[in-house]
A and B are shown apart, each in its own frame.
Chain A
């Protein structure tokens, strides 16, 4: 069983790193837009700033999804379930990961893979003035689906460990931090 725990830890580390890396995309996102506003006023608008900001924004929230899952940030309504006994809570979690989450994400991975693959085949471009390649950006979807799927497995492993030991190994959600 040690191996399983170690797998969960390794997966968590992947999610943490992926999240912390894409988090920095916030800087190009706002910097290109600031540049655009300034340069539009003194010279003329760029054709690329908007596209770069858009791609930074999409990549930012999609690829950080697994990190947010690891941190238990995704909104849940747990004011009923938090009063359940620990083992029941965990069993419910496992059931929902197995029946909802993992099949859903597996489907999502497969479909978005085809969606991106088609774009690569066509060497597709985004329908904007600048027309940057679309296939890189579309590949973000299967990548984030894969990260989510793997992180889901780690969550199931942590739930199983909790069931086995009676100690809660799930990461405790901080009092949720919405905007």
Chain B
């Protein structure tokens, strides 16, 4: 039997075993070792330690730990409350002002942090109870909070783009520059959708009572500025330094950690227990992501040594299907896998399988990464593994899970249409990176 076929069997078996419910990382290590030994003999053992140590030497990936820590620290800062309140009061006379305030603060927070869990929790804590009290529609509210919070993984700085960079062999700083406009576009789509829904059916988002809106203009402006200050500091410290080339993404993430601690202290929320909690949670989450990444790097190297990805690429190319159709098909595969899986296994296990195919098609990897990143937004919203829904449910237990799911469906449609827009107008993705990095 040829090695390429052995590799195909490995992938097929992998899928079956993954569904058995055992931690994916360890299944990967064992299967790659066993199949590697059959196909490559002793060589697989060197490959294993070499690949693990290689991952440990990849300084860029330290940004995963640092962004996670930053997010967890910020989660307890109560950062956006004042800004949220100011926006809410400023547009309080219109219908659906809370949707607007939620999406606006969510986009800003997404630009200040790189993980979704913290963003959804924070936004749900801030917006959920108010929306409940003012009689907002639960489904649309839940969808807005989840989709808004999920923007954190697309709008840079983002942990997903950090992981995607090495996998697709593109620079993370460029990915960040490329993700800015698409993130903005997606947020604008959400905004347009929620406002259109409330315009068609004003009952979905009643205006705020007049006595709450009775504040002076000066107070409003001051609240706005004070509220904007912390996210602005964080965005400058992290995204600003990375895109301007002052700092590497890893260093930018480290500056973000320092900034997050400073901002939390300024909000008088910093305590030893906050830091301890963030420290322990960071270790758990980072270890989970990174062990999976290291294991799949090892599996990927066995797989490449077998020549299977090239074999798949050659086979598919020989069918002479149009490249555009192939790209959309890969995205659809990732979308479907996003229902049962989270983004980490999709990015580190599935995407490398298609890498030679993408290279052979001469696809612009930055463009593809962003298309993929927007597609994988749906991962967070698609049941049964819809993490955003779980975070939201954790904060507001009164909302039923089916209601949350119902509310998220239209937002998934918006994400799909965003993918199509970016597919037909690659300029939106490529404008900023070409402008800044030439």
Contact of A176 among B20, B66, B116, B387 (CB under 8 A): B387
The answer to whether A74 and B280 have CB atoms under 8 Å apart is no
Is B385 part of the binding interface, using a Cβ–Cβ cutoff of 8 Å?
A: yes
Q: Whole-angstrom distance from the CB of B251 to the nearest CB of chain A?
A: 5
Contact of B258 among A30, A71, A101, A176 (CB under 8 A): A30
Is A9 part of the binding interface, using a Cβ–Cβ cutoff of 8 Å?
A: no
The answer to whether B287 and A73 have CB atoms under 8 Å apart is yes
**What per-residue 1/0 map shows which CB atoms of B342-370 lie under 8 Å from chain A?**
11110000000000000000000000000
Contact of A20 among B160, B280, B290, B394 (CB under 8 A): B280
The answer to whether A64 and B287 have CB atoms under 8 Å apart is yes
Is B255 part of the binding interface, using a Cβ–Cβ cutoff of 8 Å?
A: yes
The answer to whether B283 and A23 have CB atoms under 8 Å apart is yes
Instruction: Return chain B residues, CB-CB under 8 Å to A58.
Output: 55-57
Contact of A178 among B45, B251, B387 (CB under 8 A): B387
Instruction: Return chain A residues, CB-CB under 8 Å to B290.
Output: 61-62
Instruction: Return chain B residues, CB-CB under 8 Å to A112.
Output: 49, 52
Q: Whole-angstrom distance from the CB of B27 to the nearest CB of chain A?
A: 6
Is B199 part of the binding interface, using a Cβ–Cβ cutoff of 8 Å?
A: no
Instruction: Return chain B residues, CB-CB under 8 Å to A64.
Output: 283-284, 286-287
Q: How far is the CA of A26 from the CA of B289 in the complex (A)?
A: 15
Q: How far is the CA of A62 from the CA of B294 in the complex (A)?
A: 10
Interface size class of B (residues with CB under 8 A): 35 or more
**What per-residue 1/0 map shows which CB atoms of B285-328 lie under 8 Å from chain A?**
11111111000000000000000000000000000000000000
Instruction: Return chain B residues, CB-CB under 8 Å to A69.
Output: 23
Instruction: Return chain A residues, CB-CB under 8 Å to B144.
Output: none
Is B10 part of the binding interface, using a Cβ–Cβ cutoff of 8 Å?
A: no
Is B76 part of the binding interface, using a Cβ–Cβ cutoff of 8 Å?
A: no
Contact of A23 among B17, B251, B282 (CB under 8 A): B282
Q: How far is the CA of A74 from the CA of B65 in the complex (A)?
A: 16
Contact of A68 among B20, B57, B66, B284 (CB under 8 A): B284
Q: How far is the CA of A41 from the CA of B246 in the complex (A)?
A: 9
**What per-residue 1/0 map shows which CB atoms of A50-65 lie under 8 Å from chain B?**
1001101110111011
The answer to whether A37 and B23 have CB atoms under 8 Å apart is no
Q: Whole-angstrom distance from the CB of A111 to the nearest CB of chain B?
A: 5
Is A166 part of the binding interface, using a Cβ–Cβ cutoff of 8 Å?
A: no
Q: How far is the CA of A138 from the CA of B53 in the complex (A)?
A: 7
Q: Whole-angstrom distance from the CB of B34 to the nearest CB of chain A?
A: 8
In the complex, the chain B residue whose C-beta lies closest to that of A41 is B246
Q: Whole-angstrom distance from the CB of B259 to the nearest CB of chain A?
A: 10
Q: Nearest 3 A-B pairs (CB), nearest first?
A: A58-B56, A81-B21, A33-B254
Interface residues of B (CB under 8 A from A): 17-27, 29-31, 33, 45, 48-49, 52-53, 55-57, 59, 61-62, 64-69, 71, 114-117, 153, 159-160, 241, 246-247, 250-251, 253-255, 257-258, 279-292, 340-345, 384-385, 387, 390-391, 394
